[in-house]
Chains A and B, each alone.
Chain A
Amino acid sequence: MANPRFRRQPSRFVRLRHLVQAAFLLAWLGPFGLRLHTFCGPVYHCYACPLATFACPIGVLANFSALGVSPLIALGTLLIAGALVGGFICGWVCPFGFLQDLVAKVPVPKLRLPLQAGYLRYAVLVLLVLVIPYFFGESHPLFICRLCPAGALEAGLPLAVQNAAQGQSFWNSMSTVKWVVLGLFLVAMFVKYRPWCTLFCPLGAMLGLFNRVAVVRLKVDDRMCTSCGACKSACQIGLAPEKQLDDPLCIRCMQCTRCDAIGLTTVFDREKSPNHAARAGADSSR
């Protein structure tokens, strides 16, 4: 039976999301030629990209691990960003996520993997970002930057094009491994929703842990929820929001807020109906 509280049309938040992502893209892509590489951005964007404004926090963590230096700036940035908005970074701010969102709009049947596959992200974080760089240095073939599809797409590909324009070899601009990773990733984007974010992203793995305690978060109103499962069918990640609202895999795409029982709240709100803001937005958009 259809849930009368569940709207067919996306809520105002969902419609805003791509606009916000596009706006943030301008910030990450070096407006006015800014290259503030002495600071980290909270998003997955390779600093070798010709337009990158900030340094990639994962690249910094891995390289600092290889150097044996404590990455306080990167940690501080991630702690603040995570504690403020948690997974909203992935869904609303990250340029690499935005790209995957756009490609996912191509109407191709999407593969759904078990949610447990998301734990792979922690293996990537621990092994490829922290342990291997620390013990074997950045020259190890499993060093995260050597396998990163964001680096291949945002930095390697422009470099290859630049080299080709200058009469040098296009294919020799990146290692074979990176070309293969890039190819696999480009295909995967079409057949799986956010393949990097849901399976491998070490940054998302960290930020997702903050979903439970972030200042801005989602909440289910138990009095309104009828457990109809409509929110689960709306979730592109495959979560059941009524039970897994704070799951580390949640990127806060807000598709589940089509249901009035789920809405935005802050960690400082107490015993209030969660959906004041969301419902107000929905009402005004109806």
Chain B
Amino acid sequence: MACGKRGRRTLARGRATVTILLLLAGAACLSYGVAFHSVPVLPKPDTSEEEVPETPPEILPEDEVGFTADELFGPPSEDAPPLLIDLSDGPEPGVEMSEREVLHEVTIGGLERLPSGRLMRTYVLGETPPSFCPT
């Protein structure tokens, strides 16, 4: 009986410890999220004033040009740097947005994840956000 009582007390103490740890973890998450956590967010490119050519520039097929890129420059060597550089992995200007701002943007469908994993606004600042009900 005494052993049962002691066991129950140990259980109760363990339970109280877990509760306190959970409360502390919650407080830590909440404080860190509110005060420090931020993510970089790319602005939506403003295309409204860009001049878009009406017709794309003509690209002549290789047989009309008369030579190919390999004939002109030779075959690419293995040591050569890649011709195309993926700029999406490089540093791009983005705004550091606090988690509270991200949370607010989420509620208006204002953010999307790009294939590169970065976040981008879905609307230009100053314009009306998409909606209060993204779905």
Interface residues of A (CB under 8 A from B): 37-40, 47-48, 50, 55, 59-60, 63-64, 66-84, 137-138, 143, 145-146, 151, 155-156, 159, 175, 178, 210, 212-215, 267-271
B113, A67: Cβ atoms under 8 Å?
yes
B19, A73: Cβ atoms under 8 Å?
no
In the assembled complex, the Cα of A38 lies from the Cα of B99 at a distance in Å of: 8
Which B78-126 residues have C-beta < 8 A from chain A? 99-104, 106-107, 111-113, 117, 119
| Total number of residue pairs linking A and B with CB closer than 8 Å | 132
In the assembled complex, the Cα of A64 lies from the Cα of B103 at a distance in Å of: 8
Contact partner of A64 among B19, B31, B106, CB < 8 A?
B106
A72, B134: Cβ atoms under 8 Å?
no
Residues of B within 8 A of A151 (CB): 133, 135
Contact partner of A145 among B30, B102, B119, B135, CB < 8 A?
B135
With both chains docked as a complex, state the minimum distance between the C-beta of B98 and any C-beta of chain A, in angstroms. Answer: 9
Chain B's closest residue to A56 (CB) is B107
With both chains docked as a complex, state the minimum distance between the C-beta of B2 and any C-beta of chain A, in angstroms. Answer: 12
With both chains docked as a complex, state the minimum distance between the C-beta of A50 and any C-beta of chain B, in angstroms. Answer: 8
With both chains docked as a complex, state the minimum distance between the C-beta of A175 and any C-beta of chain B, in angstroms. Answer: 8
Q: Which of B4-12, B56-64, B65-73 contacts its partner?
A: B4-12
A80, B119: Cβ atoms under 8 Å?
no
Interface size on B, residues (CB 8 A): 40
Chain A's closest residue to B23 (CB) is A83
Contact partner of B19 among A40, A70, A175, A267, CB < 8 A?
A267
With both chains docked as a complex, state the minimum distance between the C-beta of A224 and any C-beta of chain B, in angstroms. Answer: 16
